[in-house]
């Protein structure tokens, strides 16, 4: 049994290193070579620093760098503070299940679809301006205000907060479920401390180590986001990741080398931000110890907690209105400013799938189903190998899972595309599936790991005692009992696949069209009704996946409640 487990672990490790880890480092190495002047395909054969000199001389580079740091670090810090404040107020008043149901729509919707909805909401001719005009503003025409694509990146920060605060709320809520929060609060209150100070001094120092890694994922994404930044962020100059994407796509091949230098710089920015964050933790720990020793039982933090809660609720309202705006625009026909609702409605935009969205929808479904199925099979094989070998996961395995989520996509995807071109697979579905799996598999693995380990092993031992082979125990006992977690992990993987922009753009070489690539492309100036259709479809697919994940186990086990509960 253990020998079989070690063999299975070895096969899975081979697939992981060869199919997931090696492509990442190979793409990063290719990017690094180009960043220092070597790309034989365009006649660059000698290592030099010219690409960096070109990069620093490009117009707007300094502004792009500043915007990246401001929006990335600012949104991550704000998201942590707001999520902490909301949890301090809401914990105990709302169950974890209720919190999960509240947050599911914001977690399920792809970043690009939410960004497009926010643009429809915040634009000078958007829903908010319409609702306030002309009675409150006097506007009978859209005002000349930069409420979207503003030069300071404020709209992008709002978009990142709408998407990332719910994620941190879920992560913090999960960590709080493992702590005696009520006892801590009761003890603190008995000593005369306010609720806010108990959270700051006692609860969060215990929660923070458990959420550090997910927080770094949020930080890495915020510093290197492309799709949301194209829709909401500054446009001229944009944040660095968008600028790199444009340089890579430019007709002038001379920009490839400085673009590679900028991509490598993007990786260094994320690494530097994480190191700076860790240094900040040490400084804050020292300051916190000093503060704890000073005592103090004031109530001064209560207004801040209430403000954070109000802001979080406001962000959720913005997110809900953004999704509603997508739906309204997809059915609108005539909608002049400042009317709050369209004067006329039409299905015309929906009635021409053959002209665009039908093909994109089909490709998105194929990619999502393929990447999810492959990622789920690989995750099951990994976890089953651990069980058969009777070994826990090594520390390097956790790093391997989070590696694609911590490295900026722009840092290695273009280099990986160069390698795929050499292999003759770039521009096809297989290349895109491979690239998307780099990001789908980690989420599937994270979602499935805890339920798999929580499975009662007595059922498996009983099957073994009855003579069932390891394969039969897997397919007849484990997988049926884990149907709900498997369906949930599949839904998460499918949602991640639907949301992928850069892997599809680079590996598809413009020939693989999905709802996400089309929605982001059309958002910069196309008919809002057409954009609304693409964004609604993009947002709807993950909801369909989560709905099936909820319904499927209930249907399969409608007469077998005990087995269904065993895998929950």
Query: Read out DSSP for 369-415?
Result: HHHHHHHHHHHHHHHHHHHHHT-PPPHHHHHHHHHHHHS-GGGTHHH
Give pTM, 2 decimals.
Answer: 0.91
Length of the chain: 568
Q: Kindly give the parts of the chain with pLDDT less than 70.
A: 1-6, 92, 94-97, 294-301, 354-355, 393-396, 559-568
Mean per-residue pLDDT of the chain: 87
- Per DSSP, the chain holds a count of helices (H) and strands (E) of 27, 4
pLDDT at 185: 79
Coil vs helix vs strand at 250: coil
pLDDT at 118: 95
Q: List all residues 6 or more positions away from 314 whose beta carbon is below 8 Å from its beta carbon.
A: none
> What tens digit of pLDDT does each residue of 226-241 get?
999 999 999 889 999 9
Structural tokens at position 89: 């107020």
> What tens digit of pLDDT does each residue of 276-304 get?
999 998 888 888 777 777 666 655 667 88
pLDDT at 564: 46
The 10 Å CB-count burial string (b at 16+, else e) for 204-216 is beebbeebebbbb
DSSP-assigned letter for residue 255: G
Question: Terminus-to-terminus CA distance in the chain, angstroms?
Answer: 27
pLDDT at 566: 44
The 10 Å CB-count burial string (b at 16+, else e) for 141-161 is ebeeeebbbbeebbbbbbbbb
């Amino acid at each position: 049994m253990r020998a079989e487990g070690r063999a299975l672990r070895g096969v899975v490790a081979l697939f992981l290193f060869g199919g997931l880890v090696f492509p990442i480092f190979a793409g990063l190495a290719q990017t690094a070579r180009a960043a220092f002047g070597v790309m034989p395909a365009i006649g660059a054969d000698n290592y030099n620093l010219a690409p960096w000199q070109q990069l620093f001389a490009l117009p707007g580079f300094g502004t792009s760098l500043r915007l990246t740091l401001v929006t990335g670090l600012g949104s991550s810090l704000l998201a942590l503070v707001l999520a902490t404040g909301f949890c301090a107020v809401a914990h105990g008043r709302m169950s974890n299940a209720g919190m999960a149901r509240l947050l599911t729509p914001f977690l399920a919707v792809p970043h690009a679809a939410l960004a497009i909805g926010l643009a429809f909401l915040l634009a000078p001719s958007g829903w908010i301006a319409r609702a306030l005009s002309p009675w409150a503003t006097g506007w009978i025409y859209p005002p000349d205000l930069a409420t979207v694509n503003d030069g300071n990146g404020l709209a992008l920060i709002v978009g990142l907060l709408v998407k990332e605060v719910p994620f941190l709320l879920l992560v913090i809520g999960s960590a709080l479920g493992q702590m005696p929060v009520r006892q801590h609060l009761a003890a603190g209150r008995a000593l005369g401390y306010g609720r806010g100070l108990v959270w700051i001094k006692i609860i969060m120092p215990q929660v923070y180590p458990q959420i550090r890694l997910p927080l770094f994922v949020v930080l890495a994404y915020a510093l290197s986001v492309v799709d949301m930044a194209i829709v909401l962020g500054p446009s001229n100059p944009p944040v660095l990741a968008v600028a790199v994407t444009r340089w890579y796509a430019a007709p002038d091949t001379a920009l490839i080398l400085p673009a590679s230098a900028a991509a490598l710089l993007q990786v260094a920015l994320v690494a530097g931000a994480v190191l700076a964050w860790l240094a900040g933790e040490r400084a804050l720990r020292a300051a916190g110890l000093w503060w704890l020793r000073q005592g103090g039982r004031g109530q001064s933090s209560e207004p801040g907690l209430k403000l954070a809660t109000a802001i979080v609720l406001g962000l959720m309202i913005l997110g809900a209105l953004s999704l509603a705006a997508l739906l309204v625009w997809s059915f609108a026909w005539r909608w002049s400013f400042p009317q709050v609702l369209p004067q006329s409605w039409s299905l015309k935009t929906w009635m021409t799938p053959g002209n665009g969205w039908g093909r994109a929808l089909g490709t998105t479904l194929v990619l999502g189903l393929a990447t999810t199925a492959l990622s789920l099979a690989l995750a099951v094989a990994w976890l089953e190998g651990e069980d058969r070998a009777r070994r826990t996961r090594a520390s390097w395995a956790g790093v391997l899972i989070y590696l694609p989520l911590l490295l900026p996509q722009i840092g290695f995807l273009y280099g990986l595309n160069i390698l795929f071109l050499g292999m003759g697979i770039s521009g096809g579905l297989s290349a895109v599936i491979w690239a998307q799996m780099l990001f789908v598999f980690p989420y599937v693995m994270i979602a499935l790991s805890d339920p798999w380990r929580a499975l009662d092993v007595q059922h498996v031992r009983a099957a073994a005692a009855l003579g069932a082979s390891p394969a039969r125990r897997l397919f007849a006992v484990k997988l049926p009992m884990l149907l709900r977690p498997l369906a949930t992990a599949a839904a998460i993987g499918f949602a991640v696949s639907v949301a992928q922009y850069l892997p599809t753009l680079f590996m598809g070489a413009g020939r693989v069209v999905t709802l996400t690539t089309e929605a982001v492309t059309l958002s910069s100036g196309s008919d809002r009704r057409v954009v609304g259709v693409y964004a609604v479809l993009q947002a709807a697919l993950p909801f369909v996946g989560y709905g099936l994940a909820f319904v499927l186990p209930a249907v399969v086990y409608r007469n077998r409640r005990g087995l269904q509960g065993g895998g929950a």
